[in-house]
Homo-oligomer: A and B are copies of this chain.
Amino acid sequence: MSEQVKYTVIPGGVTAPQGFLAAGIAAEVRKKGCRDLALLYSETPAAAAGLFTQNYVKAAPVLVSQEHLANGSAQAVVVNSGIANACTGEQGLADAKKMAQLTADALAVAPEDVIVASTGVIGEYLPMDKIEKGIKNAASLLSRDGGMFAAEAILTTDTTTKEFAVKLNIGGKEVVIGGMAKGSGMIHPNMATMLAFITTDANVEHNALNQALRWAVDRSFNSITVDGDMSTNDMVVMLANGQGGNDLLTEAEQEFDLFRDALLLVCTELAKMIARDGEGATKLLEVQVKGAASEEEARIIAREIAGSSLVKTALHGEDANWGRVLSAAGAAGVPFDPDKVDVYLGDLLVAAQGKAVPFDEEKAKSVLKESEVTITVDMHNGNDSGIAWGCDLSYDYVRINAHYRT
């Protein structure tokens, strides 16, 4: 991020920007009494961009939303949790389209301007009668306070809601970027089961929005890993409704970088909340790779380390097993000279030039006991850096996932 970045963190999420309303209600798709249907609405049409799972098995709502985003605009997002509407064939597609149509009807917008998302169990059909009632109910409850209920309704095995917002000045106008996300299991580079919805009242040209989102997602949501699995349902969708009143922001404007950096902050904070709340996780792991030949190589190595089961279990056991860090780095597919590499736990040097150095085991323990642990790997192979986030692998990950469906 550049030095000149000037933005202020503010409370709230998707309804922090002007002109966005939301609701989150219990439609009884997931389990009785728990919020499981979210609706997000922009009072005016918004420029929209999205990124979707790269899994070849794409859930019906992913296919429908990709189609609906083709025109570069959207005005509403409807999300259910509990059932993923994945591996559901023609019926699933029809159901996802119906969700868009029902939302369009309730909000008097075009169905093509509705983004549909689902998360939950694969292979089951949506209970469309409950979805229909839920959408009508949610539409009647839309409000700016509804953002936090929407953030709750998109969760599955997550233990906390994930919201973040910042304000900044673009062209002399104060604009806001806000977001909500869900994660938990199946989190891995390239949009693993993860939903994130970002809103802004900034007036942003569609291509600029698209570019900024791709750039930010690659450095945030695509740099977290929980268990290496990539889901059928992931998406990050962003809406920009222009109600902040700034002159249209394009990539050519100087302030585009400011906007992009603020968006990266929102995406990074949401991504870290996802990693920290990984299934069974007790610690957030941040892996910083420095001195790499390129930013991309640095990120690839950082992700491999953050995703290594052996690094994750050592972290859980608070064991300063730096050899696993180096071994994971070497498995990333990026050539480097291991005899140049230094490894740090927090600020503590634990390996230098690829070899053990004497270090204070007690100090290492105290670093590893923290709820946030940073591992830094200096490749001494260039000037570029990259970061990835993950979590420890615990008994609870196994417990949660051994009986998810039943």
Contact = CB atoms under 8 A, between A and B. Distances in A.
Given A395-B395, A398-B316, A398-B395, A232 B353 contact: no
Interface in A226-240: 227-232
A291 to B, nearest CB: 15
Nearest to A328: B229
A403 interface: yes
Contacts of A406: 317, 319
A399 B124 CA distance: 34
A67 interface: no
A314 B404 contact: yes
A11 to B, nearest CB: 35
A327 B402 contact: no
A355 B323 contact: no
Contacts of A313: 397-398, 401-402, 404
Interface stretch (A36-44, A74-82, A85-93): A85-93
B122 A327 contact: yes
Given A87-B351, A323-B84, A334-B56, A310 B185 contact: yes
A313 B88 CA distance: 23
Interface string A84-113: 101111011000000000000000000000
Interface stretch (A23-31, A262-270, A335-343): A335-343
A8 interface: no
A394 interface: yes
Contacts of A320: 405
B310 A403 contact: no
Nearest to A313: B401
Given A55-B330, A403-B319, A404-B314, A339 B89 contact: yes
Interface string A127-146: 00000000000000000000
A195 interface: no
Nearest to A57: B330
Given A123-B322, A395-B395, A56 B336 contact: yes
A185 B57 CA distance: 30
Contacts of A351: 87, 123
A356 interface: yes
B55 A229 contact: no
A186 B321 CA distance: 14
A377 to B, nearest CB: 11
A327 B397 contact: no
B309 A228 contact: yes
B393 A398 contact: yes
A229 B310 contact: yes
Contact of A323 (B58, B121, B227, B322): B121
Interface of A: 54-58, 84, 86-89, 91-92, 121-124, 185-186, 227-232, 307-310, 313-314, 316-317, 319-324, 326-332, 334-336, 338-339, 351, 353-356, 393-395, 397-399, 401-406
26 contacts: A56-B331, A56-B336, A57-B327, A86-B327, A87-B354, A122-B324, A122-B327, A123-B322, A123-B326, A185-B310, A186-B310, A228-B309, A229-B309, A229-B310, A229-B327, A230-B327, A232-B326, A309-B401, A317-B402, A319-B404, A320-B405, A394-B398, A395-B395, A395-B398, A395-B399, A398-B398
Given A84-B323, A231-B327, A317-B401, 18 more contacts: A55-B330, A57-B329, A87-B323, A87-B356, A88-B356, A121-B323, A122-B327, A123-B351, A123-B356, A185-B310, A186-B327, A228-B228, A229-B310, A229-B328, A309-B401, A320-B405, A393-B401, A395-B399
